[in-house]
Amino acid sequence: MFISGCVQARALRAAGLALLALAFTTGAAGAREDAAVPPEVTVLPEVTVTGGGGNPGDLPAARLPAHERAAVPVSVEGVQTFAREDIEALRPRDVFDLMETSLGMSITRQGSRINNFSQNRGGNVAFLIDGVYLTGTQAQRAAGDIPVGMIESISFVRDGSVLSILPVMGFGSRVSAPNQGVVVIHTLRRAGGEDRAHARASYGTFDTWKLSGGFKHSWTDGRLQLGGGYQHSASNGKHGWNNAYATDTYMLNGGWKDSDFMAMASVFVNRGEREIQRYIGVIGGSSTAVGELGPEVWKYDPRNTEVFTLNLARYWNDAHATALTYGHGKVDGKGLFYTAAAPKESVPPRYFKDVSSDLNLSHSIETPKNTFKAGVQRIGFHQLTETLPGAARAPREEEIYGLYVTDEYRITPALAVDASLRMDRKHVEKGGDKYGADGGTVKVSNDVWTDKAWLFALGAAWQIDPVWRVSGRYAWSRTPTPDTITTANDQNLPDERLHRWELGLDAKLHPAFNASFTPFYYVVKDAKVTDGSAPPISVWNPDSSSYENLSVYATADKVIRKGFELALRGRFPVAPAGEFGTLGYELGWSHFKDDSIDARSGSVETPENRYTARLDWEYGPWKSTISALRVDEYCHFFRGACLPTGNFTTVNLNVRRTFAHGVTVSLYGQNITGKRYWTRHKTGTGATVFPESWGAIADVGATWGVEIGVDF
């Protein structure tokens, strides 16, 4: 059995069970024993009206109040939100499953939930959890450990020119690119709504257990709130695949909100151990035969995550508000990297720590016609890896300082324009080594200020009539070349400039048929691409005791990225007159084309076409959801070769029935057709130069499970 019986684990579970008991006790006070089928409670983000007279021909109100960190202009069409009821219907295994369900988001799985995510528009993806920014490396490790049962809503903002949310530049990257999208996660923490509690227990394939509970209670007419949750997850994994795990997750949140002041805080803690799935051979003639598992038997024991958020706001009057957001995140642990042929005692463990802090201060002025917001931001980043305590280290310490201003003006209730400007500058306190084209160290980037990064955006939205709405956005950005990038002849590369055009068309033709269409066109000047004339260089990394393969970069004069997202959705009674319940559907098509994608551009993580489908049926106490994802084949380029990736269709199913006293029983399945697929090739592992493994992290196939839940 993979799950250890250590004292620490028992203590964690005991605390979790105590919290679960509190959930039952708290919820029982407000339980509705007279209701055979309790009403569903969906807590949605707050909405503020910022113009218009409420007429059908007016633009919709702002999605969030202006002082909120994730507030965006009405001209931003590319936003998709899953509320609590959507998450329960889709039955995702983790946050990454939700991301794959959304329009334009792609996941490349590397094993053990350390995954890469890319946007359909060819850039980086940022994360906001309860208004706090996570660095890219933190999001890769931490996002998969956030229990979906503790998420109130998750939004995918596909327009990266939303300036008050995220910085223009990133941390610790060898290739700089502006963020092209944002994943906004709200946990179960918002003030307002009904008191509630829940408990869940599920069992599934590969001896997978999940026990969870949560509660929310408020006093003083909802102004004072306290909530919490606990989840224990464990799985033995597929036999021989090295993908078992055992984790305990705790969340506590609460605060105060009234008409003058808001103070909300949350703490998220995850403790656990997790194996890193072995790759499987998929290419003939490589060192790992087709169908065989690779020799690596790796795991993280432990791997811990902590995220603290604090949101303060002072409402001076109906128009003015000042907001302060602070967040601190840490992911640390110990990695064991050995092979099936070598005893693990012969390989020293590798310790890692990834710490970030985020401080954001803004002031907003919101009137019926105009919304103005200005702010400052400081984000800190610290990353450390070492083979043994006190051994050789490779720390990175960076900080980004940003200034931003945005204004939205409603010319009429049906027509609005907006403009935004942001400037960032990064200070590299302790950076990585900069390597020359010959593999030798050129310099260490310590105490260096980068050039300024700029982003400017314009937008407009027009509600033509109650049915048709059209919007448009243009954005320009300039991003300096990263400090550690390797180039041929050690030349300096110019800043990257990006022009982005986007249109949005939304049509509410009928409750049974609504459509949105968002075409986009990007032009990248001096884009950083892999230099086709220079093969990757191999550099010995003493911290990992292995070779690190670094690409040599050059610039492309102009790169065109273009595509669109199309969504169709509707809901209607099933004839006659709803006798057989109601039926809802959503269909999505994401298309993306990048003319720089060829044999010199390195790994490709975004397919040209992705299709999503979802069908919901509700009849009395019965609900069912079937969803599907289709990904076309695309290439993972390695040393001039095209390794096929994608070309798969997965189908998920969830059937549930609600009984008396808030009891719900669900039967669910993921990838129920058992499709074997992968999203990434493993083209270089171990301590040798370019081993021809060419394996892949494959899906485990069909999984099934049953869950029993109680809502109070």
- Give yes or no for residue 659 having a pLDDT over 90: yes
Cβ partners under 8 Å of residue 473, min gap 6? 75, 76, 159, 161, 457, 458, 459, 460, 500, 501, 502, 504
According to the model, what pLDDT value does residue 202 have? 96
- Give yes or no for residue 322 having a pLDDT over 90: yes
- Considering 57-61, 170-174, 567-571, 638-642, the range whose residues carry the highest mean pLDDT is 567-571
Which candidate, 298, 276, 295, 384, places its Cα nearest to that of 349?
Answer: 298
CA distance 30 to 77: 40
Report the pLDDT averaged over residues 226-237: 93
Yes or no: say if 600 and 534 are a contact pair by the CB < 8 Å rule.
no
**179-187 and 124-129: which strand pairing?**
parallel
Per-residue model confidence as pLDDT tens digits over 71-121:
888 898 888 899 988 998 998 888 888 888 888 887 777 665 556 666 667
Report the pLDDT averaged over residues 270-285: 86
Residue 2 maps to a domain = no
402 vs 600, higher pLDDT: 402
Query: Which amino acid, residue 350?
Result: R
Share of the chain above pLDDT 70, in %: 78
Cβ partners under 8 Å of residue 543, min gap 6? 350, 385, 386, 387, 391, 392, 393, 394
In what helix (H) or strand (E) does residue 12 lie, and over which residues does it extend?
Answer: helix 7-28
CA distance 494 to 707: 55
Residue 482 maps to a domain = yes
105 vs 628, higher pLDDT: 628
- Which residues constitute the domain of residue 62? 7-711
Average pLDDT, the chain: 81
Question: Model's pTM, two decimal places?
Answer: 0.84
Per-residue model confidence as pLDDT tens digits over 233-261:
999 999 999 999 999 999 998 999 999 99
According to the model, what pLDDT value does residue 116 have? 67
According to the model, what pLDDT value does residue 674 have? 93
According to the model, what pLDDT value does residue 601 have? 46
C-alpha pair distances (Å), 600 with each of 146, 596, 684: 36, 9, 17
Task: Count the domains in the chain.
Answer: 1
Per-residue model confidence as pLDDT tens digits over 201-220:
999 999 999 999 988 888 99
Share of the chain above pLDDT 90, in %: 39
Out of 48-62, 288-302, 464-478, pick the least confident: 48-62
Query: Which amino acid, residue 264?
Result: M
174 vs 132, higher pLDDT: 132
Report the pLDDT averaged over residues 549-570: 86
Which tokens go with 563? 């595509």
Per-residue model confidence as pLDDT tens digits over 378-407:
999 888 876 666 555 667 889 999 999 999
- Give yes or no for residue 547 having a pLDDT over 70: no
Tell me, what CATH number does 567's domain have?
A: 2.40.170.20
CA distance 24 to 243: 33
Cβ partners under 8 Å of residue 449, min gap 6? 425, 426, 427, 428
Peptide bond into 576 cis (omega under 30): yes
Out of 20-34, 365-379, 656-670, pick the least confident: 20-34
683 alpha carbon, distance to own chain's centre: 25
- Give yes or no for residue 69 having a pLDDT over 70: yes
According to the model, what pLDDT value does residue 623 have? 95
According to the model, what pLDDT value does residue 441 have? 65
CA distance 356 to 275: 25
**678-682 and 641-645: which strand pairing?**
unpaired
**415-435 and 396-412: which strand pairing?**
antiparallel
Cβ partners under 8 Å of residue 532, min gap 6? 554, 599, 600
According to the model, what pLDDT value does residue 625 have? 97
Residue 429 maps to a domain = yes
Output b/e per residue, 127-145; b: 16+ Cβ within 10 A. bbbbbbbbbbbbbbbbbbb
DSSP three-state, residue 7 = helix
Query: Which amino acid, residue 700?
Result: V
Which tokens go with 306? 């902590």
Report the pLDDT averaged over residues 304-309: 92
Which tokens go with 141? 């490790």
Per-residue model confidence as pLDDT tens digits over 483-508:
677 777 777 888 889 999 999 999 99
Sign of CA dihedral 41, 45, 51, 56: negative
CA distance 251 to 266: 7
- Give yes or no for residue 437 having a pLDDT over 50: yes
What confidence category does residue 444 fall into, taking pLDDT thresholds of 50, 70 and 90?
low
Residue 561 maps to a domain = yes
Residue 81 maps to a domain = yes
Output b/e per residue, 587-625; b: 16+ Cβ within 10 A. bbbbbbebebbeebbbbbbbbbbbbbbbebbbeeeebbb
Per-residue model confidence as pLDDT tens digits over 138-158:
777 777 778 888 888 898 888
Which candidate, 480, 607, 605, 450, places its Cα nearest to that of 555?
Answer: 480
- What secondary structure does DSSP assign to 571-591, as a single string? EEEPTTTTTT-EEEEEEEEEE
Report the pLDDT averaged over residues 466-476: 94
In what helix (H) or strand (E) does residue 450 lie, and over which residues does it extend?
Answer: none
Residue 1 maps to a domain = no
Report the pLDDT averaged over residues 6-30: 38
According to the model, what pLDDT value does residue 687 have? 37
Output b/e per residue, 229-252; b: 16+ Cβ within 10 A. bbbbbbbbbbeebbbbbbbbbbbb
Report the pLDDT averaged over residues 505-528: 92
